[in-house]
């Protein structure tokens, strides 16, 4: 199934980790995933909204997971200045 999202979705989860070192307690991680940027379904505006929303969360770390493109990486090259 292919889904095309028209807005950024933010979910928050607290994940308890037994034996976690104290210096990592409270670590805030933002995960951005599965953009499938093809220049069509996921617009540059929506991508920038996701980045802005991530920055507003003030995370300690940002991880990018999943698929960045659907078929060809060509459209994503236009995002690089």
Say if 14 falls within a structural domain.
no
Inside any domain, residue 27: yes
Within 1-75, strands assigned E span 29-33, 61-65
pLDDT of residue 18 exceeding 70: yes
Look at the chain and report how many structural domains it folds into.
1
pTM recorded for the entire structure: 0.74
Domain residue limits at 68? 22-77
- Tokens 């698929």, located at residue: 67
Taking Cα atoms as reference points, which of 41, 54, 45, 43 lies closest to residue 9? Answer: 54
Q: Would residue 17 count as lying in a domain?
A: no
67-81 pLDDT per residue, tens:
888 888 888 787 777
- Per-residue pLDDT reduced to its tens digit, 22-39: 999 999 999 998 888 776
In a domain, 4, yes or no: no
C-alpha 33/C-alpha 46 separation (Å) is 13
């Amino acid at each position: 199934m292919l889904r095309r999202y028209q807005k950024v979705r933010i979910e928050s989860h607290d994940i308890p980790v037994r034996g976690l070192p104290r210096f990592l307690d409270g670590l805030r991680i933002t995960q951005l995933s599965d953009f499938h940027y093809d220049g069509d379904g996921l617009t540059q505006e929506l991508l920038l909204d996701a980045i802005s929303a991530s920055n507003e969360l003030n995370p300690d770390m940002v991880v990018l997971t999943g698929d960045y493109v659907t078929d060809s990486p060509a459209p994503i090259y236009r995002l690089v200045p």
